[in-house]
Amino acid sequence: MEFRKLGRSGLKISEIAYGNWLTHGSQVEEDAARACVRAALDEGITTFDTADAYAGTRAEDVLGRALKGQRREGLEIFTKVYWPTGPGVNDRGLSRKHIMESAHGSLRRLGTDYVDLYQAHRFDYETPLEETLRAFDDLVRQGKVLYVGVSEWRAEEIERALRIADEMGFDRIVSSQPQYSMLWRVIEGEVVPLCEREGIGQIVWSPIAQGVLTGKYEPGRPLPEGSRATDDKGGADMIKRYLNDDLLARVQELRPIADDLGLSMAQLAIAWTLQNPNVSSAIVGATRPEQVADNVKAAGVKLDADVLKRIDAILDPVVIRDPGKTVSPDRRP
């Protein structure tokens, strides 16, 4: 495993992080989830990402039990707050009330006294940003949170938060967690340049585009049984944007590139995200331990300029680059 600094902070995290969105407490049974976490640990992954809302809070419970007994100082545990965790009007968003209550719930479920990184899971237009940042800063000062980050925020929202933090003496954001892959590059135009200037690192999710970049979805062929595209618990909704024959045919053209490099298609896709110097880590999920072992081999892989140009030539017509695709709900869900 290779390690990188998280932005300009002093924290080092594994290039490959293990995430449990859409898996723990939902797609896979707990025994399988624990086996995947053990595989991640065996492969040298130290960074684990989750969120309070995943599987209705069950994902944090499962991850906490799976990591029980591990040396806490040797792990980086990340979680998030924003999406609903209960039926009440305040069981969502980034108000001080919800942040404080959600943070304590996450610590209890994860079985830890602190999280290494606490992230605002979306931007909350109903809460003054000063209120949100003060609540985060109070958690930092209480020792319950070590670093603060955001997920799926636009460049102008990150910039506002940085300005307020500087004016009010709060700890600054050190990370951004966006969707990023060969096919989804909406952060490259605005978020990445800002974050490079401000010392913020990207922890990217969906580096294999919900599994599309593994090449298992073929144009004109039925969807593989048991795949993300047939999952009725949320996975199918996320992947459907990619399931058109032109895009899938172009993905198949990447196979000779992966073969020439001795990489699986998934490894090529993950390694591609890690070529961006602003990326600190790529999050992978898994339903089977062997998927973890395969994905981890992307760590440390260097792709030369010619390979990157070949990939761009194949995919450019289907790449999504519009920064406006990064959105948060106008109102709390």
Alpha-helical runs (H) found in 155-223: 155-168, 191-198
CA distances from 278 to 124, 220, 275 (A): 25, 37, 9
How does pLDDT run along the chain (333 residues), one tens digit per residue?
Answer: 999 999 999 999 999 999 988 665 555 678 888 999 999 999 999 999 999 999 899 999 999 999 999 999 999 999 999 999 999 999 999 999 999 999 999 999 999 999 999 999 999 999 999 999 999 999 999 999 999 999 999 999 999 999 999 999 999 999 999 999 999 999 999 999 999 999 999 999 999 998 999 998 888 777 766 555 556 665 566 677 888 999 999 999 999 999 999 999 999 999 999 999 999 999 998 888 999 999 999 999 999 999 999 999 999 999 999 999 999 999 999
CA distances from 286 to 4, 263, 296 (A): 22, 18, 11
CB-based contact 301:263 (threshold 8 Å): yes
Nearest in space to 207 (alpha carbons), one of 301, 274, 149, 121: 274
Q: Does the active-site annotation cover 54?
A: yes
Is 252 in a helix, a strand, or coil? Answer: helix
| DSSP, res 185 | -
Q: Active site residue: 54, 118, 180, 217, which one?
A: 54
- Taking the C-alpha atoms of residue 194 and residue 158, their distance in angstroms, rounded to an integer, is 9
Residue-level pLDDT at 26: 56
List domains and CATH numbers for the chain.
3-215+267-304 (3.20.20.100)
CA distances from 45 to 77, 125, 203, 237 (A): 11, 35, 14, 29
Nearest 5°: phi and psi at 281? -160, 150
**Residues sharing a CB contact under 8 Å with residue 239, sequence separation 6 or more, in sequence order:** 209, 210, 211, 212, 228, 229
Its pTM surpasses 0.85: yes
Is 311 in a helix, a strand, or coil? Answer: helix
Specify the DSSP element, H or E, that contains 251: helix 245-252
**Residues sharing a CB contact under 8 Å with residue 33, sequence separation 6 or more, in sequence order:** 20, 23, 24, 25, 62, 63, 66
Helix, strand, coil percentages (3-state) for the chain, rounded to 5, are 45, 15, 40
- Taking the C-alpha atoms of residue 127 and residue 132, their distance in angstroms, rounded to an integer, is 7
| DSSP, res 40 | H
CB-based contact 98:92 (threshold 8 Å): yes
Is 163 in a helix, a strand, or coil? Answer: helix
